[in-house]
């Protein structure tokens, strides 16, 4: 069953303060984003891609998708999350929110596609920007997981973004935060490039000059090309910032970790 924006907005009543005209209101958008991390239109796309009426147990409702997004975005204790969701039973909240978190993770292979880097291709040699981003974690690992960016344990993810469309087309990780970006790129990314293909990245990738364009003029034929690469890198930094703000990648790892502990406990 496909759903419309109005149905998603209606399903959010009791979680965020909504009114019939709320989706046109900036303050509503701010409240909605703080709760679910994505506006109603994106939530509709998620529901329709997951197709819960076909893939999930009987009784599934649009509000259950919002519970999953609430868990990923706010990541409070289960008790607080269940209260936010309308004072529902904690076990009920856990069941449906985790079902949708898992379903969203399965969309990775449908949404994050390496071949999508060719969308809008204008025969450029470099099709993607590449960068490693460190995510703070509260779990205590060895010193090898120490991130020099925030002086605490972290996990590193390597993210690739199509220059022409802005689509995320590559995610590699998690890896210990102490690993150098070049080392991470050589684990997989470089081998996935076409023979004559390059990527655009920051100066941290200077050791891989044959495959990655860094902010050095000799890599670019014209000043315009150099400027376009700078714009692409800046956009990538914006994506990294959003990932850090939501801590999306790490939070999913923690939810999977929780599921493993729960399954061990049941046994």
Supply the pTM of this predicted model: 0.73
> Does residue 124 have a cis peptide bond before it, meaning omega lies within 30 degrees of 0?
no
Q: Quick one: pLDDT band at residue 25, thresholds 50, 70, 90?
A: confident
**What is the reported pLDDT for 53?**
92
* pLDDT bracket for residue 127 (50, 70, 90): very high
Q: Count the neighbouring beta carbons within 10 Å of the beta carbon of residue 62.
A: 18
Distance CA(48)–CA(118), nearest Å, equals 25
Collapsing DSSP to helix, strand or coil, 178 comes out as coil
Q: Per-residue pLDDT averaged across 218-238, rounded?
A: 82
Q: Which of 240, 266, 263, 255 is nearest to 76 (CA)?
A: 255
Q: What's 149's DSSP letter?
A: T
pLDDT of the residue at 195: 92
More confident residue, 114 or 210: 114
What burial class does residue 119 get, using C-beta atoms within 10 Å of its C-beta: 0-12 exposed, 13-18 middle, 19+ buried? Answer: middle
pLDDT score recorded for residue 265? 41
The 10s digit of each residue's pLDDT in 154-205 is 888 899 999 999 888 999 988 888 889 999 999 999 999 999 999 999 988 8
The pLDDT assigned to 186 comes to: 93
pLDDT over 90 percentage in the chain: 35
Q: Can you say how many angstroms the Cα of residue 148 is from the centroid of all Cα atoms in its chain?
A: 22
**pLDDT, averaged across the chain:** 83
> Is 96's pLDDT higher than 80?
yes
Going by pLDDT thresholds of 50, 70 and 90, the confidence category of residue 259 is very low
Delimit the domains of the chain by residue range.
5-110, 112-254
């Amino acid at each position: 069953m496909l759903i419309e924006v109005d149905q998603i907005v209606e399903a959010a009543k009791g979680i965020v303060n909504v009114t019939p005209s709320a989706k046109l209101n900036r303050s509503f958008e701010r409240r909605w984003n703080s709760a679910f991390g994505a506006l109603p239109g994106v939530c509709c796309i998620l529901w329709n891609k997951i197709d819960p009426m076909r893939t999930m147990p009987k009784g599934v409702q649009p509000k259950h998708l919002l519970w999953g997004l609430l868990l990923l975005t706010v990541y409070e204790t289960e008790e607080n999350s269940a209260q936010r969701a309308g004072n529902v039973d904690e076990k009920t909240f856990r069941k449906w929110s985790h079902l949708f978190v898992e379903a969203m993770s399965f969309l990775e292979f449908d949404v994050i596609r390496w071949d999508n880097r060719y969308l809008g291709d204008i025969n450029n040699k470099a099709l993607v920007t590449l960068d490693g981003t460190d995510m703070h974690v509260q779990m205590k690992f060895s010193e090898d997981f120490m991130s020099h960016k925030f002086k605490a344990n972290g996990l590193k993810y390597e993210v690739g973004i199509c220059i022409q469309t802005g689509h995320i087309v590559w995610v590699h990780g998690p890896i210990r935060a102490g690993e150098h970006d070049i080392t991470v790129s050589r684990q997989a990314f470089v081998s996935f490039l076409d023979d004559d293909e390059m990527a655009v990245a920051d100066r941290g990738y200077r050791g891989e000059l044959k495959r990655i364009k860094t902010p050095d003029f000799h890599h670019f034929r014209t000043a315009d090309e150099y400027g376009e690469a700078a714009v692409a890198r800046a956009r990538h930094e914006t994506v990294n910032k959003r990932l850090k703000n939501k801590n999306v990648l790490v939070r999913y790892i923690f939810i999977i970790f929780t599921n493993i502990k729960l399954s061990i406990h049941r046994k």
